[in-house]
Amino acid sequence: MNNIATLLALTSLFLLGSSRLSLAINMVAFQGFLIGILPLVSGHGFTLEVLILAATGIIMKSIALPHMLRKALEKSGTKREVEPYISFGASILSGILLLFVSGWIVSRLTQDEGIVSSSLIAGFFLLFTGLFTIITRKKALTQALGFLVLENGVYTAGLSLGSEFSFMVELGILLDVFVGIFLMGIMLFHIDNEFDHIDTDRFDALSDLELPDLELLNGNVLNLDQELDEEEGAE
Amino acid sequence: MSTLWLIILFPILTGIVTLFTDSHKIRKILLIVCSVLHIVFTAFICLGSITPTTESWFCTDALSKIFLSLTSLLYFGASLYALTYLKPDEEGEHVSDFHDLSFLRNKNAVFMGCMQFFLSAMTLSVLSAHFGLQWIGVEATTLASTPLIYHHRNKKSLEAAWKYLIICSVGIALALMGVFFLAMAVPTQVEFFTPRGLSKFAGYLRTDWLQVAFIFILVGYGTKVGFAPMHTWLPDAHSEAPSPASALLSGALLNCALLAILRVYQVCAEVPAVQALALQLFILFGLVSMAISGIFIMHQADYKRMLAYSSVEHMGIMIFAFGLGKAATAAALFHAICHSLVKSSLFMLAGNILSAYQTKKVEKIHGLLRTMPITSVLWLAGFLAITGTPPFGTFMSEFSILKVAVESRNYLFGALYLLFLVLVFVGMLTIFSTMALGKKMPVNSEGQPIGYKDPELRKDGTVYEHPLQYITPIVFLAAALFLGCYIPEPVLQIINEASAILGGKAL
Amino acid sequence: MNITSIIFIIVSFLAAPILPGLINKTKALFGGRQGPRVLQLYYDIFKLARKTPTYSKTASALTRIAPVAIAVSTLAALTLVPSFFNNSAIHFTGDIILMAYLLGLGRFFMVTAALDRGSAFEGMGASREVLYSALAEPSFFAGLLIMIHETASLELSEIFSKLSLNFWQENPAILFLILCSWFVILLVENARIPIDDPNTHLELTMIHEVMILDYGAKDLALIEYASALKLWIYSALIVGMVINGEIITSLTMQIAIFTLGMAIVAFVIGTIESITARIKLVFIPKFIVGSGALAIIALILKVAGN
Amino acid sequence: MDLFLSAVVAIFVGGIIALFTGKWRGVSNFFGAFSCFLGTIFALKPIYDVLIANKTLEAITIALPICSASVSLDKISAFFALPIVILGFISAYFAAVTVNPRNEQHPGAYWFFYNLLIAGMLSLVASSNAVLFIMSWEIMSVAAYFLIAHRVEMNTARNAAWQFLVASHIGTTGIFFLFAILASAAGGFQFETFHSSALAEGSAAVIFFLALFGFGVKVGFFPLHIWMPDSYTFAESHVSAVLSGAMSKMGFYGLIRVLTFLPVHAELWGWVLLFGGLITGIYALVIALVKLDLKKVISYSSMENAGIILMAIGTGILANRWNQPLIAFTAFSGALLHIFNHALCKGLLFLCAGSVYFATGTRRQEQMGGIGKSMPVTATAFGIASIAISGLPPFNNFISEFLIFMSGLKAASLSTPKSLLLSAAVLLGLGLIGGLAAALFTRSFGLVFLGTPRTNRRLNTKNIKSDVNFTLIILSAAIIAASIFAPMLISPFAGVVSEIVKPLGITYDPAYIATISAPVKTISLFSLAVILITCIAVFIKSKFLDKNQRSDAPTWDCGFLKGTPRIQYTSSSFSEPANEVFVSVNRLHIRGEKIKELFPAKSSFHTEATDSAEKHLFIPAFNIINKFLIMFRGFQHGKLHLYIFYIAVTLLALLIWKVVY
């Protein structure tokens, strides 16, 4: 369990440091695989349900979704994430910082129990890495990857806490995540079609920076004297 | 299998059928049939004829009933409205074209199908008692509504949909984390992972975990509800979505997410320390949301975005009220009802204006009272209703909330609350009076307007308004007006019951 | 209403036009001229009263009504003036306010009538008149306020009669200041030099005279008479304020002293008119406000004295 | 009470019928106006019962969503219902004959909001429940908003309406808050419960100042008056009459009503009202003197009268505080009488202005002149109203101002320095206000109705609506009647006064009524005498003395041979000397070239007068607020990753703040 947690953390760090998108997809796929086998090693026994869940998880997260993302990547013709908001080196450093933060939070949270769960740290770390990726990267594809990592983090944390729900709910959650990322994949295609790029930093047509030109909003609305003429004209 | 599954599953079925139907007419019929069926089911649930068999998945308490009937009602209104709003299929739009994964080709089929999925998801999230199931429902609403937002298939709607999907997914993922923590807060394995199930362990809940869980869930679902500063997707999505979808998003979806938070609060209320934290955060998020929305409603250039911000504001009002507790809880629930009715009508009316003028810019629209008499009168009435002007129901709730704030000696909060309400009022008044009043459009010799995009004017200088375009707003606004003058006994009873569930007093 | 007040009204009614004559006589005295007769105004009024009026084409009914209204309101004000240090014909709590405002009513008609003919000059006079009288009003009330405070009485005749000799002896400064400010008001309200020069020939500098440029005949007679009456009222107020009527017991003595007082007021006005020049129009508001300031200084002195 | 409520309902229902019959102009007009007539006449009966017959009407309880509210009519309510009923009736008539024949307007909407306004005001005064009060208050404001904006074609009307509703809403928040405080202290929304509630002194002060703020907006308390001149100006004249004559009185109603809830009135409040009123009154007149728009002048005069009334209320509070019941009684009576009288005068003035506007199509005094000859009834009515509003005898406003003067005079006879200050403020202030008001209204009356037309294209006699003369005559007659029968008003109004001070535990000696009636009686007789003598004298003069008069001469032009109508004194030149005096408050902004050469070319010259409060207080404040709000707009910049960043930061901040830390 600890080993898997360490591996998860390492893949995340790797993700932060790599500029090549195909590599990043592979990393995430590997992460999906690791998370898929996590329930098997967490010592809950090998019931049929656990096996099905693990299999579904692996198929979805490490095969289907990465495949789709790869297709999207091919179609868009992009290879690298260029000029992220925070450079790759700094990202790795921040990643390490985030790792410490996760450790700190987890240690504070579990101080009553006196145990520090490494997989919980990994969960938090994945969550933060996912957020960090979405925040600092520009390509829509990377953001989708970031979301996947975040989702992995949540899942890992959930497993490490041992808070398991019934089979159906777990399956439902998996399905939801899958559909979500699937949708993102579809939209990646659309983005590529519409914009000829998948850079989300150029997604800023929708903002409130523009001010309306309304007569009622300039201070002169208080002074209506000069408008006498208009009214007389209308009569 | 509980019969409750039926109400969740049949919209999915009709939705799938819709998705693969080529005839626009049949799709329309399916849409309406689905909504009517849903209303019938809802009526049975509200009357208590359908109840969950076990406690583990669903509950149909007063809270669920309120939000379910709101959802059902708004959905009915929105589908009626969608009948006229959706233009007939364009040439070459076939359903079964799966070419290069670029999603289904037929916009209308996707839209109507997803509406029904959306309904199902919302129903699931409202009815579910199990926190995991509820999470699935809320996430499903996001997934089902993304295609709705992308309906127009242009750059802006794509951008809006992408932002919506990413932000809400992130938020809801955080909420899932919170749900896991919630499970940790219970020392032993629980039989029912539901509010009632957890409440049985009231004395044994672990404060730390519960607090963390609550924060994660509040931030997570709060993103979906649209609390500032997580509301950023909301104006984009609401303004780009087609109006029936905006009406549903604003009137129904936000409520569903709010309900999810309230369900968690039900558990938190069992532990005083966590309850104090929760109430504090409620008030904080409420005031921040109101302030932010006020700022953006002032100087707003786009009337649909203005309505979206107004939703942020009203969610803020409600959560603020929940934070105050006591009678304000009931007031907030009442407010939720009135807000849903009014806001969805306003979005529909905005749709009318948009389809006539083809612009969402406030500054380009003047003298609506001349060109679209019915829409603009309703538009003004909606303005009064949404800003809490008596005798609309919103006034009653807003005033009772203020009274509770003062009663509990939160003078500062009360004053801020009023200040933000004024800010919103002024901003909205500016926009509504610019649009409805003022000079009529200059027209050329043929009576067609000059310098504007091109509403097709008829001889008398007005735009044709289809009855379906305004019948729902009329009914909804009338209902909001009626509720402001008199609350029928069953409604009052159910509100008070729901308020009691949340530890509040009667209205 | 007693016999004294009836005598007073009759006397005032008849004798009012003497005052301008006296003033003119004084001025002539200072100028070393013989000057017009003291009764000149009577002659003028009688002469005018015999003539038939001519009106401007622009004039409306108001021009015809105004002289009557002015005369009536001034006469009405007269009934409220203390008669020879005794009660006025009609006296009640706060009568002085009615008196002040009745004179204001006369002014209203004077001003609007001036605007009635559409003459630039008359409008000019009107615009000055309304401002100066508006500014004079507060200082009038300021003086009144001190006297009310001293006498604790709200009727004009009572106020004057209660202003005891003591007050004169103890607070000569205060009373003097009030006197000064009221005297300025007298000058302002009656269009005397240094505010206004009734004898000037340059319409641009006139105030009162320019407003009645268009009047002639009976109307002018009425207005001239009302003006004289107004001067009489103000003079009577000043006399009543300065001279303590309580100590003079017999009516004849009262009448004699009152007459003497009025003559002195006329003489003082004449003297002022002789030795000062008309001040520049832009300084008039300051002059009036300054006189108000005197009254307010008196008020402060009074409060400090308490 | 049933009758009163049914009157309200009748008016309201009439409005709705008129709304839905809007297509048929005549039908709509009929229902709208007729229901107003009917309702106002019915409402008179209960008002009479309460005010004069001293009956108490049984309260009626209405169920509202959050409480049950009772409706009742006490003396204060009945008193304030009077102006509503009178002006509601007369303006409805005016509207029926003038506005709605015009084609571009939708009569249904007009009547709906008009009737809603009247019904709202009537239910406002009748409600003895906070929720119902606020509801009626808001309905009244909203109805007024739509009435002001009724001429939808005009951006000015829209802007004025915007100002109105913004101001009104900001004020309403104060009212919201104060009622919330009262209700939470009393534990109920009924007014009866407010009386018995034990309020801390601090919260009483808060309530008072909130009330002053909230209701001050409606009455035009400086500097909250800013919306008022514009709204009254750009609304239809008969609407302005109702707004100024009745609606702004609702502000006084609210203030007085709230005063009755407070167990003790602090001295400070009295001073604030006194000096606030004084400043309001003088400021209004000083600004009005630079304004050239007839209706704006009348609007500012509303503000001036509000100042006088506030001064009187302040005097009353101070005198009560000093245990001078007679002075307090006089001041309160004066305030109430002035409210009533002002409603009549202001209604008449606005209706006259409306009638002039129909004839000339302008409100600019600079362009009018000589209208009196073609509109003698309007001119006479305006003249009467001008004399009255300037506070000159023989008309009613003088009598009410006289009472206020009396309270000041009486205070002067007290021996404390404070009382001297009070009476100095009242006497000097009222003196100046009276003088300036006279200046203002001689200007308007003289320049609009007298002289010759300043431009010849104005004054289209075809447009003169003689139908409206009926309303003018009625109101003029009412003014004269109120002057002559003023003593009869004192005793019913005294009942209102005693109801106002009853919660303070003060009862006034009934003999006071006689004390203050005595001078009022004399004045009324005096007024009657002055009116009669003047009439007789004028009659004699015109019949016998002016026999051979000629009226064909030109106006004496002092040797300037080419007199034209344009050489007449204009509105701005008339007030120029006054403006010179008050230049620091009402500085004009002059645009245009100065003449330099001996034979100048054609040049233009334009002056603009803004309200100083507007220019130096509100516009800068609005700009600052605008800038401040715009600062935050960068928050919604459209960058997705930063949006996610907000979420992350919120989450982390909360985690660190609340849990981990």
pLDDT in tens, B120-137: 999 999 999 888 889 999
Chain centroid to CA C95: 17
Half-sphere exposure of B196 (CA within 13 A, CB side): 11
Closest CA to A25 of A79, A75, A82, A88: A79
What pLDDT score was predicted for residue D346? 93
Taking a C-beta distance cutoff of 8 angstroms, is the pair D635, A209 a contact? no
Tokens linked to B372: 């679209």
Distances (CA, A) of D327 to B218, D312, D332: 62, 10, 9
pLDDT at D625 over 80: yes
Chain B, nearest residue to D66 by Cα: B507
CA distance A122 to A116: 11
Q: Which of A154, A170, A183 sits opposite B165 (nearest CB)?
A: A183
Q: For D490-545, how does the pLDDT look when each residue is reduced to its tens digit (9 = 90+)?
A: 989 999 999 898 888 888 888 889 988 999 999 999 889 999 999 999 998 888 77
The torsion region of residue D118 among left (phi > 0), alpha (psi -120 to 50) and beta comes to alpha
Domain around C263: 3-305
CA distance C260 to chain D (A): 31
The two structure tokens encoding residue D261: 């809830």
Residue C235 reports pLDDT greater than 90: yes
The pLDDT assigned to B102 comes to 44
The confidence score (pLDDT) of residue B101 equals 46
Please name which of B160, B137, B235, B305 lies closest in space to residue A187, comparing C-alpha atoms. B160
What does the alpha-carbon distance between residue B341 and residue B348 come to, in Å, rounded to a whole number? 11
Give the alpha-carbon dihedral of B307, B311, B312, B314, to 10 degrees.
130
C49-78 residues touching D, CB cutoff 8 A: 52-62, 64-65, 68-69, 71-73, 76
Taking residue D311's Cβ as centre, other Cβ atoms within 10 Å add up to 32
Q: Show Cβ contacts of residue D222 under 8 Å, excluding neighbours closer than 6 positions.
A: D276, D279, D280, D283, D284, D303, D307, D613
Pairwise CA distance, residues D615 & D623, whole Å: 11
Determine contact: D288 vs chain A, CB below 8 A: no
Average pLDDT, rounded, for chain D: 87
| Cβ-contact A140, A198 below 8 angstroms | yes
A interface test, pick of B104, B128, B166 with most A CB neighbours within 10 Å: B166
| Phi-psi map region of B329: left, alpha, beta (phi>0 left; psi -120 to 50 alpha) | alpha
Rounded to two decimals, what is the model's pTM?
A: 0.92
Domain carrying residue A124: 2-202
Q: Where are the domains of chain D?
A: 1-192
Among A85, A206, A231, whose Cβ lies nearest the Cβ of D156?
A: A231
- Is it true that the peptide bond before C285 is cis, omega within 30 degrees of 0? no
Contact flag D156-A138 (C-beta cutoff 8 Å):
no
Residue of chain A minimizing CA distance to B177:
A154
Selected residue with higher pLDDT from D118 and B186: D118
Looking at residue D99, its pLDDT comes to 62
The span from the CA of D320 to the CA of D505, in Å, is: 11
What pLDDT score was predicted for residue A233? 45
Enumerate chain A positions whose Cβ falls within 8 A of a Cβ in D. Answer: 85, 104-105, 108-109, 131, 134-138, 143, 200-201, 203-209, 211, 215-217, 219-228, 230-232, 234-235
Mean pLDDT of D44-69: 86
pLDDT band at D561 (very low <50, low <70, confident <90, very high): low
Instruction: Give percent of chain B with pLDDT exceeding 90.
Output: 50
The candidate with the shortest Cα–Cα distance to C60, out of C97, C114, C11, is C114
pLDDT value for D478: 94
How many domains, in total, are found in chain C? 1
> β-strands D588-592, C86-88: how paired?
unpaired
Is C in contact with A (3 or more beta carbon pairs below 8 Å)? no
What the block records as the tokens of D509 is 């000696």
Average pLDDT over residues C253-259: 89
pLDDT of A83 strictly over 80 = no
Contacts of D202 (CB under 8 A, 6+ apart): none
C165 vs B126, more confident: B126
Question: Pick from D361, D638, D640: which is nearest to A232 by CB?
Answer: D361
As a whole number, mean pLDDT of residues A38-54 equals 75
pLDDT single digits (tens) D411-433: 988 888 888 899 999 999 999 99
Q: Given a contact as 3+ CB pairs under 8 Å, which chains touch B?
A: A, D
Q: How confident is the model at residue D101 (pLDDT cuts 50, 70, 90)?
A: low
ipTM of the complex: 0.91
Classify residue D507 as exposed, middle or buried by CB count within 10 Å of its CB (0-12, 13-18, 19+): exposed
Give me the percent of chain D exceeding a pLDDT of 90.
45
pLDDT bin (cut points 50, 70, 90) of residue B96 is very low
CA geometry: angle at D646 spanning D641 and D650, to 5°?
145
Query: In the prediction, which pLDDT does C174 show?
Result: 86
pLDDT tier, B316 (very low <50, low <70, confident <90, very high otherwise): very high
Kindly report, residue by residue over C94-149, the tens digit of the pLDDT: 889 999 999 999 999 999 998 888 888 888 889 888 999 999 989 899 888 888 88
Q: Is D202 exposed, middle or buried (0-12, 13-18, 19+ CB in 10 A)?
A: exposed
List pLDDT tens digits, range A106-141: 887 776 665 557 888 888 899 999 999 888 888 888
pLDDT band at B321 (very low <50, low <70, confident <90, very high): very high
Q: What distances in angstroms separate CA B117 from CA B18, B110, B120, B249, one per listed residue?
A: 10, 10, 5, 13
- Chain segment B286-313, per-residue pLDDT in tens: 999 999 999 999 888 899 999 999 999 9
Can you tell me the distance from the alpha carbon of B337 to that of B74, in angstroms, rounded to the nearest whole number? 10
Instruction: Say how far apart CA A1 and CA D564 lie, in whole Å.
Output: 106
Distances (CA, A) of B182 to A110, B276, C87, D655: 14, 17, 95, 15
Of B20 and D175, more confident = D175
Residue B97 is predicted with a pLDDT of: 47
The C-alpha angle with vertex D310 and arms to D307 and D314, in degrees rounded to 5, equals 135
- Residue D457 clears pLDDT 80, i.e. is over it: no
Give C4's pLDDT tier (boundaries 50, 70, 90): confident
pLDDT at B100: 46
Hey, which residues 142-161 in chain A have their CB within 8 Å of chain B? 143-144, 147, 150-151, 153-154, 157-158, 161
Quick one: pLDDT at residue B95? Answer: 47
Structure tokens of D632? 């935050």
> What local confidence, expressed as pLDDT, does residue D349 receive?
94
**Residue A235 pLDDT:** 37
Cα–Cα distance measured from residue C92 to residue C99, given in angstroms and rounded to the nearest whole number? 11
Q: How confident is the model at residue B426 (pLDDT cuts 50, 70, 90)?
A: very high
Of the pLDDT bands very low, low, confident and very high (cuts 50, 70, 90), residue D619 is: confident
**pLDDT > 70: percent of chain D:** 95
**Mean residue pLDDT across chain B:** 87
Looking at D243-394, list the stretches that DSSP marks H as alpha helix, in order from N- to C-terminal side.
248-261, 267-288, 294-321, 325-360, 371-374, 376-389
What percentage of chain C exceeds 90 in pLDDT?
Answer: 32
Is the pLDDT assigned to residue D565 strictly greater than 80?
no
Residue C58 pLDDT exceeds 60: yes
Q: How far is D2 from chain A (nearest CA, A)?
A: 43
What does the pLDDT read at residue B94? 52
The set of residues, in sequence order, having a beta carbon less than 8 Å from that of B39 and lying 6+ positions away, is B72, B73, B76
| Rounded alpha-carbon distances, angstroms, from residue A208 to B299, D637, D639 | 9, 6, 11
Q: What is the mean pLDDT of residues B376-405?
A: 91
**8 Å CB contact of B176 and A214:** no
D624–B contact, CB cutoff 8 A: no
pLDDT at res. D268:
93
Query: Is beta strand C54-56 parallel, antiparallel or unpaired with respect to D550-553?
Result: parallel
Mean local confidence (pLDDT), D284-307 = 91
C293 in contact with chain D, both atoms CB, cutoff 8 A? no
**Cross-chain residue pair D651–B507, CB shorter than 8 Å:** no
CB contacts of C299 in chain D (<8 Å) are 420, 424
What is residue B474's predicted lDDT score, i.e. its pLDDT?
94
Residue C241, pLDDT > 90, answer no
Least CB–CB distance from A173: residue in B156, B176, B300: B176
Q: Return the pLDDT at A115.
A: 58
Q: Is D626 on the interface with A (CB under 8 A)?
A: yes
Contacts of C288 (CB under 8 A, 6+ apart): C132, C135, C136, C139, C184, C188
Mean pLDDT score of chain C: 87
Question: C71 versus D572: which is more confidently predicted?
Answer: C71
Neighbours of C255 (CB within 10 A): 18
Chain D touched by B438 (CB under 8 Å):
yes
